[in-house]
Structure formats: structure tokens, C-alpha cells
């Protein structure tokens, strides 16, 4: 219990004073549509998730969590969470600590948290399971997708080859790496397994609930909008506190994403983007 409380204190300190507590910046002065921000809390049931979010994350960790939160009530504990663990490209060396439908369908490898940036056609355009991420990169991806450059939702952020420490990936970096692999015979290129499996591909539909227990699907929540989807643990198990430091930092970041792009509070930049068509009609989906 003492170690859990120490971890909670560390998380609160990092959230209050860290980079993710700062406002996000825009580069364009174009009008933007609102970003769709969704939280997915993995928990034993909707009632527990609601209680953990209110008592632990909001009251103890002083996080806002104002964006809509859905619940995956299929969480099952498989092993104890650890304050310090070794992870190789998203896979823990000590094995999976839990199972859940969202985790399985989205291929998240039972990490404590995941951020997914999704475009209007439900394709995953960026992914991270680490707290070492430049907020300017994430902000750029979000704004470019909202601007809908050339009506094709183009992005310009190349995150480079997969990095074990940062875990920040964009589909552009994956595309560029695949081109490089084909163009240079002497280079084997990055291994496919190091890239997040759904990067550049549509998100599967996932059965979820509202915090009040109403059934719904992930695709309905996405609604054909540019979305930031944050998946994290909201279990009643006490060992969840051991991973709350990193989770708290990213939840603070999500609060800022919500305010900046979900509520449109980010201050416009100086650049007038000519090829932006944010309101263009999108192709119908089945």
C-alpha cells in the first residue's frame, strides 16, 4: 500500500508540473471542426469504472476527465501490475497482466494505457503506449486530419522507425519505411512486427457500454469523425495504482487534447492552409 501511495504521489507531481499540463499549439488559422475525444475504461463493470474514475482519477489524482468515457466491462485480471516493468515494443517481458475485449480486438498487448488517433474513415493514423511523446507531433497530426488536407486526410508527421522507449508511431512513418524497404535491397528494413498491427488500417468495432450501463459500439462512438481514443485501466484492483503515474500523465494530456481540439480552445496559428477541406463529404460506410 505504501508503494502504491508513493506512485500516486509521483503521478500527481508529474501531472501538475509536466509538459502535458501545458496548452497545445496550432499551426493554422483556419476554422477547425471539433475533435471527437473518447475514453475507454477497462473495468469489471460499468459501475466500478464510474466509481474508480470519480474517486481515484478525479478526486485523488485531480484529473478533469471531462471527455466522454465508455466502458469495456470484460476486464479480467491475469497477473499483478508492477511499478517497474520491462516492455519490448508494447509487450511486457513478464507477461500480460489482464485480458479485455478491447485489448484483444485492437491488439494492445495488455498495456496500462494506449492513445489512438483515428481519421474519418476509422483508420488508425497514430499510436502510442508511451509517455515520451512530443505534444507538438500529436497536435500536428490532429490538426492536419481535422483540416482534411486535399480531401485525403494527409499528414506530414513521420515518427521514424519504431522506438522501444517512445512507442510513438504514425502511418506515414510506416508507409515511408515500407517504401525504403522495397527500394534498398541491401537493407532488410524495420520488422513488420515492430509496427502496431492496425496502423493505417480500420479500427474493428468493439462492444462497449456507457458509464450508466447502456450498450453501444465503438464505431457508433467514432461517428465518422476525426477521433482521439484513449484506452486505460479503471479496475477496482489496488495494484492499478502502481501504473497510475504514466496513466495520469497521459490522462492529463488527453484533457488538454479535449480542451484544445474537442472544445476548440487552442489558439489559432499564423498559417493559412489553402488545401484544407474539413467539411468535404466523406465516403459512405457500410
Render pLDDT for 58-88 as a digit per residue (tens, 0 to 9).
Answer: 999 999 999 999 999 999 999 998 877 777 6
284's grid cell: 459512405
Instruction: Please give the C-alpha separations between residue 263 and each of 4, 89, 129, 136, 257, in angstroms, as whole numbers.
Output: 34, 33, 24, 18, 9
Say how far apart CA 267 and CA 286 lie, in whole Å. Answer: 37
Say how far apart CA 97 and CA 110 lie, in whole Å. Answer: 6
Q: How confident is the model at residue 282 (pLDDT cuts 50, 70, 90)?
A: low
Render pLDDT for 167-207 as a digit per residue (tens, 0 to 9).
Answer: 899 999 999 988 887 654 444 444 457 899 999 999 999 99
| Cell 501504473 belongs to residue | 243
Partnered with residue 37 across adjacent β-strands are: 228
Q: Give residue 91's pLDDT.
A: 78
Dihedral Cα 225, 170, 95, 7, nearest 10 deg: -80
Q: Give residue 121's pLDDT.
A: 96
Question: Residues 80-97: what's their mean pLDDT?
Answer: 78
Question: In 10 A of CB 263, how many CB atoms?
Answer: 13
CA nearest 19: which of 114, 130, 131?
131
H runs (alpha helix) in 184-242: 218-222
252's grid cell: 492529463
Q: Which one has a higher pLDDT value, 217 or 180?
A: 217
Query: Is residue 48 within 8 Å of residue 240, measured between CB atoms?
Result: no
> Does the pLDDT at position 16 exceed 50?
no
User: What percent of the chain clears pLDDT 70, i.e. is strictly above it?
Assistant: 84
144's grid cell: 492536419
Q: In degrees, to the nearest 5, what angle opens at C-alpha 103 toward C-alphas 129 and 286? A: 105
159's grid cell: 515518427
Candidate from 20-29, 31-40, 76-85, 183-192 with smallest mean pLDDT: 183-192
CA nearest 203: which of 278, 282, 125, 112?
125
Q: Give residue 21's pLDDT.
A: 53
Q: Give residue 65's pLDDT.
A: 94
Candidate from 43-47, 131-135, 164-168, 186-190 with smallest mean pLDDT: 186-190
Say how far apart CA 1 and CA 241 lie, in whole Å. Answer: 9
> Does the pLDDT at position 262 exceed 80?
yes
> Does the pLDDT at position 104 exceed 90?
yes
Q: Give residue 164's pLDDT.
A: 60
Say how far apart CA 109 and CA 279 lie, in whole Å. Answer: 36
Say how far apart CA 146 and CA 208 lie, in whole Å. Answer: 26
Q: Give residue 281's pLDDT.
A: 60
> Does the pLDDT at position 133 exceed 50?
yes
Angle between the 2-17 and 244-257 helix axes, to the nearest 10 degrees? 30
Q: How confident is the model at residue 284 (pLDDT cuts 50, 70, 90)?
A: low
64's grid cell: 478533469
Angle between the 135-147 and 244-257 helix axes, to the nearest 10 degrees? 40
Q: Is the dihedral of CA 67, 129, 14, 226 positive or negative?
A: negative
> Does the pLDDT at position 248 exceed 90?
yes
Question: Residues 204-221: what's their mean pLDDT?
Answer: 96
Query: Is residue 252 within 8 Å of residue 20, measured between CB atoms?
Result: yes
Candidate from 90-94, 125-129, 196-200, 223-227 with smallest mean pLDDT: 90-94
Q: How confident is the model at residue 277 (pLDDT cuts 50, 70, 90)?
A: very high
161's grid cell: 522507425
Q: Give residue 171's pLDDT.
A: 96
The DSSP symbol for 204 reads: P
> Does the pLDDT at position 3 exceed 90?
no
Amino acid at each position: 500500500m505504501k508503494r502504491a501511495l508513493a506512485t500516486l504521489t509521483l503521478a500527481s507531481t508529474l501531472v501538475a508540473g509536466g509538459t502535458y499540463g501545458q496548452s497545445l499549439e496550432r499551426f493554422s488559422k483556419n476554422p477547425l471542426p471539433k475533435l471527437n475525444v473518447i475514453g475507454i475504461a477497462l473495468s469489471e463493470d460499468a459501475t466500478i469504472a464510474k466509481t474508480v474514475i470519480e474517486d481515484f482519477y478525479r478526486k485523488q489524482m485531480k484529473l478533469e476527465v471531462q471527455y466522454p468515457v465508455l466502458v469495456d466491462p470484460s476486464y479480467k485480471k491475469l497477473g499483478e501490475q508492477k511499478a517497474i516493468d520491462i516492455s519490448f515494443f508494447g509487450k511486457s517481458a513478464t507477461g500480460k497482466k489482464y485480458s479485455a475485449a478491447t485489448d484483444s480486438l485492437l491488439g494492445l498487448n495488455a498495456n496500462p494505457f494506449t492513445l489512438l488517433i483515428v481519421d474519418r474513415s476509422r483508420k488508425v493514423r497514430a499510436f502510442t503506449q508511451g509517455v515520451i511523446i512530443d505534444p507538438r507531433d500529436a497536435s500536428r497530426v490532429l490538426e492536419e486530419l481535422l483540416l482534411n488536407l486535399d480531401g485525403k486526410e494527409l499528414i506530414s508527421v513521420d515518427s521514424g522507425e519504431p522506438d522501444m522507449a517512445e512507442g510513438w508511431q504514425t502511418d506515414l512513418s510506416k508507409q515511408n519505411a515500407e517504401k525504403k524497404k522495397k527500394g534498398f535491397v541491401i537493407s532488410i528494413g524495420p520488422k513488420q512486427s515492430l509496427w502496431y498491427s492496425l496502423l493505417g488500417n480500420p479500427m474493428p468495432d468493439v462492444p462497449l457500454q456507457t458509464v450508466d450501463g447502456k450498450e453501444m459500439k465503438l464505431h457508433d462512438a467514432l461517428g465518422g469523425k476525426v477521433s482521439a481514443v484513449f484506452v486505460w485501466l479503471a479496475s477496482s484492483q489496488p495494484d492499478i495504482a502502481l501504473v497510475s503515474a504514466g496513466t495520469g500523465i497521459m490522462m492529463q494530456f488527453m484533457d488538454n487534447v479535449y480542451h484544445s481540439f474537442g472544445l476548440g480552445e487552442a489558439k489559432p496559428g499564423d498559417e493559412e492552409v489553402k488545401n484544407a477541406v474539413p467539411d468535404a463529404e466523406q465516403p459512405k460506410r457500410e
